[in-house]
């Protein structure tokens, strides 16, 4: 009846109940399998067979049905970092090479199944064109940036770290006509936005102009890294990036995202694939956080194009100075004092103010 009514797709759910009774009879099983094999030809369409995978098993155990199908997809799940992670495995796809066997998927209301394509590149990408820097001290130590650069900024532990860096990112976006996306792991987007805005107002901008500058050049969002497994977190990040389509991606509070992952090897693998994917898209990747684990920070430094590491120097008279160590690829490390940052902040604010006056 289905064939006579002219359907293009037939879904049989479930084939398990049909095959289980004939597993012991090779003749009946062969007849049934041959029927399924010929049915798509008669349909001139698509036949989808749904089977239940026994819990804990990796194969169906329904005879040779796995060998006659053109494609075989396995849906399963596992617990990762305490969260349920849904996995889709492409076990077979006739005529098509399979480079990635497993990947993450989600089931969303009103959307259905969404499959996450992992950012795995066969070859390492190169960066794009050079971008302008604001601040002569940055030019002296880091030289220059390119689209696709990976930049680490590590601070000593403390609340609300790196607020001045957002001014530098904003100035970088303005002078190069870019858009920056900030993904925060530590503070809500409203808190970060208000603090940047207040800093601009303190520098002489009106509240309205500060708001308009932020509106045009910086989008801020926040994710709770402890509410996702590592795979889910990467998927959420890349989905946001794909939606916003920024030129600069800022991950704020990366120490929290790093610290809750149980397997460092898994984290570094996901990190490397993600930053290489962003580099292939010519996105400047800026990662801001604390060095809670010196080993992890050292590894991440080796992956970056530029790393700025802030350290506090406590003097005998009770004063505190800041030193910034700059690691630029293929160059000897440089160091400059914290007062240089103040000079950079002045230049950043001047660029922002000049643009704001044109609004």
Task: State the pLDDT confidence band at 30, using cuts at 50, 70 and 90.
Answer: confident
pLDDT tens per residue, range 183-202:
999 999 999 999 999 999 99
83 lies in which domain range? 71-117
- Residue 150 — φ and ψ, nearest 5°? -105, 120
The residue among 160 and 252 whose pLDDT is bigger is: 252
**How far does CA 299 lie from the centroid of its chain?**
18
- Neighbouring C-alpha atoms within 13 Å toward the C-beta of 183: 23
Assess whether 160 and 93 both reside in one domain: no
Assess whether 307 and 178 both reside in one domain: yes
Q: Is residue 310 part of a domain?
A: yes
Assess whether 197 and 334 both reside in one domain: yes
Q: Is residue 125 part of a domain?
A: no
Can you give the pLDDT at residue 23? 63
Region 116-123 average pLDDT: 76
Is the predicted pLDDT of residue 75 greater than 70, yes or no?
yes
Region 298-313 average pLDDT: 90
Assess whether 65 and 102 both reside in one domain: no
DSSP letter string, 259-306: HT-S-HHHHHHHHHHHHHHHHHTT-EEEEEEE-SSHHHHHHHHHH-SE
- Residue 317 — φ and ψ, nearest 5°? -80, 5
The residue among 289 and 54 whose pLDDT is bigger is: 289
Q: Is residue 301 part of a domain?
A: yes
Can you give the pLDDT at residue 351? 94
Q: Is residue 124 part of a domain?
A: no
Task: State the pLDDT confidence band at 77, using cuts at 50, 70 and 90.
Answer: confident
Find the Cα–Cα–Cα–Cα dihedral 63, 65, 68, 73, rounded to 10°: -130
Q: Is residue 184 part of a domain?
A: yes
Region 284-296 average pLDDT: 89
Picking from 187, 155, 150, the residue whose alpha carbon sits closest to that of residue 274 is 150
CB under 8 A, 24+ apart: contacts of 24-31: 29/63
Cα separation values, 36 from 25, 51, 64, 179, Å: 17, 14, 12, 54
> Which of 20-34, 292-306, 311-325 holds the top average pLDDT?
292-306
pLDDT averaged over every residue in the chain: 84
Is the predicted pLDDT of residue 2 greater than 60, yes or no?
no
DSSP code at position 308: E
Cα 218 from Cα 195, distance rounded (Å): 13
Assess whether 154 and 111 both reside in one domain: no
Is the predicted pLDDT of residue 259 greater than 80, yes or no?
no
Q: Is residue 122 part of a domain?
A: no
DSSP SS3 for 99: coil
| Overall domain count for the chain | 3
Task: State the pLDDT confidence band at 223, using cuts at 50, 70 and 90.
Answer: very high
Assess whether 308 and 164 both reside in one domain: yes
For residue 201, the domain's CATH number is 3.40.50.300
Q: What are the residues facing 336 on neighbouring strands?
A: 324
Strands 334-337 and 320-328: antiparallel
Can you give the pLDDT at residue 60? 66
Cα 80 from Cα 262, distance rounded (Å): 9
Is the predicted pLDDT of residue 268 greater than 90, yes or no?
no
Assess whether 221 and 350 both reside in one domain: yes
Q: Is residue 332 part of a domain?
A: yes
- Residue 20 — φ and ψ, nearest 5°? -60, -40
Contact 338, 322 (CB under 8 A): yes
Token pair, residue 276, equals 């290489």
Assess whether 350 and 235 both reside in one domain: yes
Region 155-178 average pLDDT: 89
The residue among 14 and 133 whose pLDDT is bigger is: 133
Assess whether 102 and 225 both reside in one domain: no
The residue among 48 and 110 whose pLDDT is bigger is: 48
Assess whether 77 and 162 both reside in one domain: no
> Which of 12-21, 191-200, 262-271, 337-346 holds the top average pLDDT?
191-200
Assess whether 93 and 163 both reside in one domain: no
Region 133-139 average pLDDT: 88
Can you give the pLDDT at residue 163? 85
Region 23-27 average pLDDT: 66
Least confidently predicted of 3-12, 199-208, 221-230: 3-12
Is the predicted pLDDT of residue 167 greater than 80, yes or no?
yes
Task: State the pLDDT confidence band at 28, using cuts at 50, 70 and 90.
Answer: low
Assess whether 156 and 51 both reside in one domain: no
Is the predicted pLDDT of residue 156 greater than 60, yes or no?
yes
Q: Is residue 123 part of a domain?
A: no
Q: Which residue, of 84, 117, 150, is where some domain finishes?
A: 117
């Amino acid at each position: 009846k289905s064939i006579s009514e002219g359907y293009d797709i037939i879904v049989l759910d479930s084939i398990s109940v049909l095959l289980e009774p004939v597993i012991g009879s090779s003749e009946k099983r062969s007849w049934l399998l041959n029927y399924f094999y010929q049915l798509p030809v008669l349909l001139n369409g698509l036949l989808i067979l749904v089977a239940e995978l026994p819990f804990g098993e990796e194969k169906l155990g329904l005879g040779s049905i796995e060998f006659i199908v053109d494609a075989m997809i396995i849906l399963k799940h596992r617990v990762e970092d305490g969260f349920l992670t849904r996995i889709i495995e492409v076990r077979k796809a006739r005529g098509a090479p399979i480079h990635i066997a497993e990947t993450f998927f989600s089931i969303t209301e009103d959307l259905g199944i969404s499959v996450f394509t992992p950012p795995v590149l066969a070859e390492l990408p190169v960066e794009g064109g050079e971008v302008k820097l604001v601040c002569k001290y940055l030019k002296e130590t880091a030289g220059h940036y390119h689209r696709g650069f990976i930049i680490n900024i590590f601070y000593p532990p403390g609340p609300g770290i790196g607020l001045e860096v957002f001014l530098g990112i904003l100035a970088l976006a303005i002078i190069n006509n870019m858009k920056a996306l900030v993904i925060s792991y530590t503070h809500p987007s409203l808190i970060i936005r208000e603090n940047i805005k207040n800093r601009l107002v303190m520098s002489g901008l009106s509240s309205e102009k500060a708001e308009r500058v932020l509106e045009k050049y910086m989008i801020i969002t926040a994710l709770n890294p402890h509410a996702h497994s590592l795979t889910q977190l990467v998927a959420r990040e890349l989905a946001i990036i794909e939606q916003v389509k920024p030129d600069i991606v800022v991950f704020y509070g990366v120490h929290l995202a790093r610290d809750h992952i149980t397997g460092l090897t898994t984290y570094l693998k996901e990190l490397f694939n993600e930053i290489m994917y962003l580099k292939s898209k010519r996105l400047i990747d800026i990662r801001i956080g604390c060095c809670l684990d010196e080993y992890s920070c050292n590894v991440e430094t080796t992956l970056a194009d530029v790393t700025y590491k802030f350290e506090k120097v406590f003097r005998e008279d009770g004063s505190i100075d800041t030193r910034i160590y700059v690691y630029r690829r293929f160059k000897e490390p440089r160091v400059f004092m914290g007062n240089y940052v103040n000079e950079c902040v002045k230049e950043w604010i001047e660029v922002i103010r000049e643009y704001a006056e044109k609004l």
